[in-house]
Amino acid sequence: MGSPSKPSSLAVRTLHYYWQATRRHKALFFGLIAATIGFCGLLTYGNPYVMSLVVDRVSAGSVPADQVFSVFGPYIAALIVINVLGQTCSKLQDYTLWKLEIAVNYDLATMAFDALCNQSMSFHSNRFGGTLVAQTSKFMSAYNQLIENIQFPFLPIICSIVFTCTLLLPVVPAYVAILMVLLVGYAAISYLMYKRILHLNEKAASAQNQLSGELSDAVTNILAVKTYGREDYEKGVFDQANREVVERDSIRMKSSLARGIITAAVTVVIMGVVTVFISGGNAWFGITPGTLVMMFTYTVTITNQFNFINTGLQRFNRAFGDASGLTGVLDEPRLVADVPNARPLKVARGAIDFEDIGFWYADGEVKTQVFNGFNLRIPAGQRIGLVGMSGAGKTTLTKLLLRLADIQEGRILVDGQNVSDVTQQSLRRQIAYVPQESLLFHRSIAENIAYGRPGATREEVREAAAQANALEFIERLPDGFDTLVGERGIKLSGGQRQRIAIARAMLADAPILVLDEATSALDSESEALVQQALSRLMEGRTAIVVAHRLSTVASLDRIVLLADGAVAEDGPHARLIERDGDYARLWSRQTGAYLE
């Protein structure tokens, strides 16, 4: 990650992303602006203008009762037309605003989802899932705040300035000049104070995101919280984050109130000057009563609207602060990205080659070397076991094959095709991955099994479940294949979840299989059922099995012992035992070891 962006830079970047989504719906956006201008101009300025003409006519002399409609008829008609058109603009304003927010929020949600789904695992490993969800929600809500803020008060303020100058400048230019000078001063003070507190809103939003992350972390791991009796500790962690939110919000509140007091004082000065000018307008300049009414009405209107500058800027502050979290995420470079014009991977046999692999993890300035000049060839259809001490690079090797992280040196080939040159989706669709902790969605069992092949029929799903030794327990459930498994499959046991994951891999029918400690967390009975299912799954496929328990890989075609990111021993189980090296010593240490 780069250095944090300045608040102003983040605001510009946020507007960039918002405009990317808005420009797809330009008709609605410009329709909203036109409707707002029409509404403001007609109802706020058209009505007082016509009424000033009526006042001037009344001031010119009394009108006989039988001539009221003939004299004032045009004014009455003008007011009716103005109000009909103004109310029409008002309803168009509501319609275009709602339609625009609905359409753009869809695009923003898609933008955020794509960005999060296409980021690397390193990115997600360093962030709270709950924080990312909260940031996405705030990013979408902030757009609504911004667009509504443009609709009111800022667009009406601009309209007020334009209409006031247009209608009054030809009649009382000196008054308009004085009013504009005062309002420019007001706006300048508001903007300067706005810039001073912009960073406070981002800090407040950051505190809110941290609070959401802490809550999500505790709820996600609620079983650990309860079984270790750590409710009080987690409450303390949450309370600390909550107090940070209160502190940041309090600082923001005090700064906003101080700004409001200063601008309110400026408003009082403006109204004082304007009142003196209007009071002496007729005596000093011979201004007509109707024009004086129009001047006062317009001045009160424009001053009241300028009063909302504080509220509007505060909303801008809050919106940009709320959006800053996801803006930073959208600005993050893709650590793993498809090359331009990447082609789909086509696997005919499933041979895998790791050639001169160099890979290291970088944490700031610190680099942790995992592989340096690593080489390994896996012929098509061969089943190999990856074993070794923790930290030897077993799981990292499978992640590099799946391109969950990118190598810095060398290349990885699948059937002679460099995985860096093909699309990530096509690569991963050719590899069935079964991890130690099965990855289930809070959906039905059938949907979870069919995840790797969404178009599968119910009969195909059932057959995959049978092959994975899962059919018996599924049919015992009240809703069978339609049973919802709960978040992360919490309603099922570990062995049941793993068999669902294996059924998914079977249905995906990929030519390459990666098993990462797929049985290490199971009891003996569950392990036996899962091992049977895995044996069926590995038939006719290139299989890479990561394991700590050597008994789970002893029957495979080949075993590769990794040590310090290099191949220490390589061969079938029997040959490695005969060699009496590190593998043989590991085997002898594991009590209850057996070879099926």
Which burial class, exposed, middle or buried, applies to 514 when counting CB atoms under 10 A from its CB (0-12, 13-18, 19+)? buried
pLDDT band at 463 (very low <50, low <70, confident <90, very high): very high
Reply yes or no on whether the pLDDT at 60 is more than 90.
Answer: no
**The pLDDT value given to residue 420:** 94
The most confident of the ranges 43-52, 409-418, 518-527 is 409-418
Among candidate residues 207, 205, 212, the one with its CA nearest the CA of residue 139? 205
pLDDT band of residue 5 (cuts 50, 70, 90) is low
Q: How far is CA 544 from the centre of its chain?
A: 34
Core vs surface per residue 106-121: b (16+ CB within 10 A) or e:
ebbeebbeebbeebbe
How far apart are alpha carbons 511 and 505 in whole angstroms? 10
Q: Looking at the predicted structure, is the pLDDT value of residue 400 above 90? A: yes
Q: Which amino acid is at 528?
A: A
Coil, strand or helix at 558: strand
Residues whose CB falls within 8 Å of the CB of residue 275, separated by 6 or more in sequence, listed in order: none
Q: Beta partners for 413?
A: 353, 418
Q: What is the pLDDT, as a whole number, of residue 122? A: 72
DSSP conformational letter for 484:
B
Q: Which residues contact 485 (CB under 8 A, 6 or more apart)?
A: 440, 441, 442, 443, 444, 445, 448, 491, 492, 497, 500
Q: Tell me, what's the pLDDT at 358?
A: 95
Range ranked top by mean pLDDT from 49-63, 306-320, 355-369 = 49-63
Rounded Cα distance, 195 and 176, in Å = 28
* Angle, in degrees to the nearest 10, between helices 7-22 and 289-331: 100
Report pLDDT for 8: 60
C-alpha distances in Å from residue 540, one per residue of 381, 435, 531, 595: 6, 20, 16, 21
401-408 mean pLDDT:
91
160-217 pLDDT, tens digit each: 889 988 888 888 888 888 888 888 888 888 777 777 776 777 788 788 878 877 887 7
Q: pLDDT band at 537, cuts 50/70/90?
A: confident
Place of tokens 């909302």: 308
Lowest mean pLDDT among 234-243, 273-282, 509-518: 273-282
Residue 150 DSSP symbol:
I
**What is the C-alpha to C-alpha distance for residues 286 and 209, in angstroms, rounded to an integer?**
61
User: Of the candidates 206, 568, 563, 196, which has an alpha carbon nearest to the alpha carbon of residue 390?
Assistant: 563
Q: What is the pLDDT, as a whole number, of residue 123?
A: 79
The pLDDT confidence band at residue 461, using thresholds 50, 70 and 90, is: very high
**By mean pLDDT, which of 219-223, 450-454, 497-501 is the weakest?**
219-223
Burial label for 62, CB within 10 Å (0-12, 13-18, 19+), is: exposed
Using the predicted structure, report yes or no on whether residue 7 has a pLDDT greater than 60: no
Lowest mean pLDDT among 132-146, 246-260, 473-487, 532-546: 246-260
- Return the structure tokens found at 537: 């799954």
User: In this predicted model, what pLDDT tens digit does every residue of 411-458 receive, in sequence order?
Assistant: 999 999 999 999 999 999 999 988 877 878 889 999 999 998 888 999
- Mean pLDDT over each residue of the chain, to the nearest integer: 86
Q: Which residue has the higher pLDDT, 576 or 365?
A: 576
The pLDDT > 70 percentage for the chain reads 95
- pTM of the predicted model over 0.85: no
Count of other CB atoms within 10 angstroms of residue 20: 14
Question: Residue 265 in 3-state DSSP?
Answer: helix
In this predicted structure, which of 14-28, 400-414, 523-537 has the lowest mean pLDDT? 523-537
Percent of the chain with pLDDT over 90: 41
Q: Which domains does the chain have, with CATH numbers?
A: 7-331 (1.20.1560.10)
Amino acid present at 518 = A
Specify the higher pLDDT residue, 426 or 68. 426
Summarize pLDDT for 73-93 with one digit per residue, the tens: 999 999 999 999 999 999 999
